[in-house]
Structure 1
């Protein structure tokens, strides 16, 4: 299984960026797949290479999921990390809903 790690750009260079990890440490990330990114941009990284530019909201969701994995392995609560999912009914993705026939078809 591969786990992408969201990181925020703090300095950009032609083929790499210095990015901040969730723990505050910094690491050099290869940006050749996504191109130069401005300071503050969020990148989904894997093996010190940026794979995708993501929103701050998506970065927070992934950081929460990774923290939940860590907490679960330590026997700690994860509910606070999934506040958007607690106390609501599961929703089917749009592609799983039955398709309505086209009104023009006979």
Structure 2
């Protein structure tokens, strides 16, 4: 199973299908062939060196919350009431 991670487009490599993306201190060169050119600053879901979809701000917030919950769980510091505040409203 692969987990797609949101990363932000920071620059383009020449005229091709490759862009540089960042998340925190992590920087990667990814293939943007499925999405085409996206403006610098756009957040995309990446997996295995490929951008899969553009992430809207609302989606990004939910993904970041889920990743924070996963990190807390792995550290043994997970409190269910601190995460996924939107679920009771659904």
**TM exceeding 0.5:** yes
More moved, 45-54 vs 64-73: 64-73
1:69 aligns with 2:70: yes
Which structure has the greater CA radius of gyration?
1
User: TM-score of the superposition, structure 2-length normalised?
Assistant: 0.80
User: TM-score of the superposition, structure 1-length normalised?
Assistant: 0.70
Unaligned runs of 5+ in 2: none
Unaligned runs of 5+ in 1: 92-106
The SS at the match of 1:63 is helix
- How big is each residue's C-alpha offset from its partner over 1:2-32, in whole Å with a ceiling of 9 and x where there is no partner? 21101111112431111111x3321111101
The SS at the match of 1:35 is coil
Equivalence for 1:10 = 10
Where in structure 1 do 4 or more consecutive aligned residues deviate above 3 Å?
Answer: 78-81
| Structure (1 or 2) with the greater strand fraction | 2
Higher RCO, Cα 8 Å, sep 6+:
2
The SS at the match of 1:43 is strand
- How big is each residue's C-alpha offset from its partner over 1:39-76, in whole Å with a ceiling of 9 and x where there is no partner? 11111111111011121221221122122112112111
